[in-house]
Structure 1
Amino acid sequence: MSVRESICGLILAGGASQRFGGRDKGQQILAGRALADHVLERLAPQVSQVLLSANRNTFAYERAGVRVLADLALGLGEGPPPPGEQGPLGGLRAAWAATTHSWIALCPVDAPLLAPDLVTRLASARQGSDTAVVCRTREGPEPLFALVHRNTEPALVQRLMVGERAAQGFWRAVGARELDCSDIAESFANVNTPQALAEMEARLAARPAQSD
């Protein structure tokens, strides 16, 4: 089985987008397309299945041909949580319930420059006992860019049940390996404010057509 065939990709778009004034970040337009479409285009060739974590605008995301997952309730009889309440760990929990893959590659919806070989890099960095591999650069960890094994699911549920939502804390809890990706630091450029969106628009417009 190839690396691509063994891994499911998960785009994290379930947050509240507070720095966008509550507007759905993944549906913001960059170079004529939704941010989510840019990320999907780059992630899909690297994995055998793509899921997208979102708690609103389901139909808009589904038009891109991706299966959309809302965060799951934490207990029986509960309704779905508000957007962003469970954070990226809530999206990962929903993904484990929706895929049969043993590995999931995570990335956020606001990373339109995702490296085309990122998943391969993460997979190649695994060692036999690893439960997760997380990217880092010279600037520090990039906790939303990671490859994680299904055997971490019990620890994930436990953290959610006690109200812990931070991805970085979860990676520490499961002993994740860190992979230095400083040579592809551009891959982690995020678009999490209107100003960052405008800057990315200008950045892409200035690129020669053949560079994309």
Structure 2
Amino acid sequence: MAKVSANLIKQTALKLLANEPSLASLSLRTIATALKIDVSTIYWYFENKQALLQAMADYIADEITFPDLSLSWQEQLTQLYTNTFNVYSQYSHAAELMISTIPSTKTRLQLIDHSIGILVTAGFDEDQSNTAISSIDFLLTGLVIDLTTENQFRTKITTNGDDYLAKQVKQIHSIAEKEDLIHMQTSIKKRSERTPKKQFEEGMRLIIRGLSASNRG
């Protein structure tokens, strides 16, 4: 077995999250068992579970690459957040991990600063830039968390045979048709046709289109 280190503990915890319904259910004891060490060893590297979660979030953020500065601000934003979406998609509960921790490290603060800086450099003021980046973050984290929850429901229905949840899904379709909720029907159809990444890209285009119009004004 590899020598225990802070990095190994973080990597193991991130892998174990794939089998957990949420961050709350991941315990230090589970991590220690997987590493075949005493839980006290983890405390040698991390003060508590929150400290480990902070380090895990930083580990993920460190994989997000900055965009090519020669691109337009629209392309830079798209590239940066597409990179972020791709990284989040590689780790279970990544979005939940990010919003459950404080961005208090150099890596995460530089990422936020760079994101805002793209818009400030393009001519937006600080307030507009902060609001826009927050909106994109809400879109990204909300979509990824929604995807995680949806996958959990799907597993319960298809793998565990949860009849109650299956009935709830059928009820959505039934009510939408019976009540002639045409917009809801379209939404259901579009949701089934588009991948989560496609949904995110379309949301990004809408935000950037609005920013472009505002910048021209």
Pick the structure with more strand per residue: 1
TM over 0.5: no
TM-score by structure 1 length?
A: 0.25
Which is bigger in relative contact order (C-alpha 8 A, separation at least 6)?
A: 1
Q: Look at both structures and tell me which one has the larger radius of gyration over its CA atoms.
A: 2
Larger helix fraction of residues? 2
